[in-house]
Amino acid sequence: MNNILVYCELNGNNVAGVSLELLSKGRSLADTLGVQLEAVVLGSDLSAIASQVFPYGVDTLHLFEDSRLEYYTTLPHTSAICKLVDEEQPQIFLMGATVIGRDLAPRVSSTLKSGLTADCTALELGDYEDKKSGEKIENLLYSVRPAFGGNIVATIVNPYNRPQMATVREGVMPLCKVRPDDYVGNVVNHNLADYVSDSDFVVQILERHVQEQKNHLKDASIVVAGGYGVGSKENFDKLFTLAHLLHAEVGATRAAIDAGFTTHDRQIGQTGLTVRPKVYIACGISGQVQHIAGMQQSGIIISVNTDPDAPINAIADYVITGRVEEVLPKLITFYQQKI
Ligand SMILES: Cc1cc2nc3c(=O)[nH]c(=O)nc-3n(C[C@H](O)[C@H](O)[C@H](O)COP(=O)(O)OP(=O)(O)OC[C@H]3O[C@@H](n4cnc5c(N)ncnc54)[C@H](O)[C@@H]3O)c2cc1C
């Protein structure tokens, strides 16, 4: 049977969070299809990779280790992966919708003529009927993503070309370890020279400048988020005071960012970050679908809003009906006294 393959991206010597999320999803898809889950990693020191991916249910790990693969470059990755896909013939091939995934996936899919659904927010399996021929195909990958400016959610299928390729946004799939930390599966060490020609290394990285991560919203267990209803930059700064007390991070809606209350890197939602903290405190946020797309999987949602019928209240666990200007100082005073 044709398996599921996941491209695992590296941050230094660690597998990126989005790749582990994809392995978690890949495992459940593989179980439903009754096939195996394979992962591929390219890099210069891969000694620590196996122990990171096998707990997420990988059956076979393909490694390409070479000092020239220390940093990602397009051509060697494309050549190695296209040949590996030719050999392994996976039915589904997944990558993160990261900077690397957005560069690599189109290269690979156009070389393989497989098609690609980019920036998915969900992956499911389902059947498809070709209305013209009447042909029915079972267990296709449904690649789900917002379309037409976020006004609809499109489900895209690729009935005839293989592999079915998709890139998936970071943070939308829950992490799920399914095997013990010391589980060891099948490791295949590939000889890079059999896959990549020297001319693929025509681009050399001479210098690298990495910008520090500006916030830790993705990993925060508490997020205090503000919307247009916060009213001003001065009010918005109070969210940082509360966040500091709670060891939380500050997020924002697009409307709050457009109003100049905070910076763009804090935007949560369809065109921003996807977060799933244990607690999400939404202050002056109406809960439009584009915002909810990025936070609806939070554990506990607390809404502070003057409008008792604000749409966000429908998904909130606790609602405080009131003005942010009055509620926030009370919360700050409360936690200052408690902590
Ligand atoms: C293609 C596209 C992509 C988008 N992507 C995103 C995205 O990624 N993220 C995102 O957030 N948005 C996104 N948007 C914008 C989105 O549609 C909404 O416009 C935005 O989320 C609304 O932000 P808001 O809730 O802060 O503002 P509003 O909708 O204006 O809501 C303000 C809320 O504050 C309440 N309020 C007012 N005064 C107070 C007060 N004093 N105290 C307490 N509550 C008060 C009001 O009752 C209201 O509920 C996108 C839109 C499009 C078209």
Per residue in 181-199, pLDDT tens? 999 999 999 999 999 999 9
Summary mean pLDDT of the chain: 95
pLDDT higher than threshold 80 for residue 128: yes
SS3 (DSSP) at 180: coil
The span from the CA of 249 to the CA of 243, in Å, is 6
Q: 339: closest CA among 239, 249, 220, 242?
A: 242
Q: Are 53 and 20 in contact (CB under 8 A)?
A: yes
Ligand 1 centre distance from Cα of residue 225 (Å): 11
Could you tell me whether strands 4-7 and 92-96 are parallel, antiparallel, or unpaired per DSSP bridges? Answer: parallel
Examine the pLDDT at 1 and tell me if it is beyond 80. Answer: no
Report which of 272, 289, 284 is spatially closest to residue 218, judged by C-alpha positions.
Answer: 272
Distance from Cα 316 to the centre of ligand 1, integer Å: 15
288 lines ligand 1 (CB under 6 A): yes
Of 303, 166, 290, the closest CA to residue 230 belongs to 303
* Distance of CA 301 from the midpoint of ligand 1 (Å): 16
Identify the three-state secondary structure at position 145.
strand
Sequence spans of domains, the chain = 4-201, 217-338
Shared fold status for 4-201 and 217-338 = yes
- Ligand 1 centroid–CA 229 distance in Å is 8
In the predicted structure, residue 171 carries a pLDDT above the cut 90: no
Q: What is the number of the ligand 1 atom nearest to the C-alpha of 304?
A: 43
Report the distance separating Cα 298 and Cα 280, nearest Å. 6
CATH fit for domain 217-338, picks 3.40.640.10, 3.40.50.970, 3.40.50.1220, 3.40.190.10 = 3.40.50.1220
What spacing in Å lies between the alpha carbon of 87 and ligand 1's midpoint? 48
- Evaluate if residue 327 carries a pLDDT over 70: yes
Residue with tokens 């919307």: 227
Q: Partners of 224 in the beta sheet?
A: 250, 281
pLDDT tens for 303-321 read 999 999 999 999 999 999 9
C-beta 269 within 6 A of ligand 1: yes
Give the per-residue pLDDT at 219. Answer: 86
Q: Which CATH superfamily is domain 4-201 in?
A: HUPs (3.40.50.620)
Region 147-176: mean pLDDT is: 90
Asked if pLDDT for residue 148 goes beyond 80, the answer is no
Q: Is the CB of 68 under 6 A from ligand 1?
A: no
Instruction: Label residue 152 by pLDDT band (50, 70, 90).
Output: confident
Region 249-271 average pLDDT: 96
- DSSP annotation of 77 reads H
The verdict on pTM exceeding 0.95 is no
- Summarize pLDDT for 201-225 with one digit per residue, the tens: 999 999 989 888 788 898 899 999 9
For residue 228, pLDDT over 80 is answered with: yes
Q: pLDDT confidence of 150, banded at 50, 70, 90?
A: low
Confidence of residue 149 (pLDDT cuts 50, 70, 90): low
Note the pLDDT tens digit of each residue in 57-74.
999 999 999 999 999 999
Write the pLDDT tens digit of every residue in 74-123: 999 999 999 999 999 999 999 999 999 999 999 999 999 999 999 999 99
Q: Which of 254, 292, 295 has most ligand 1 atoms within 8 Å of CB, for mutation?
A: 254
| Predicted confidence (pLDDT) at residue 271 exceeds the cutoff of 90 | no
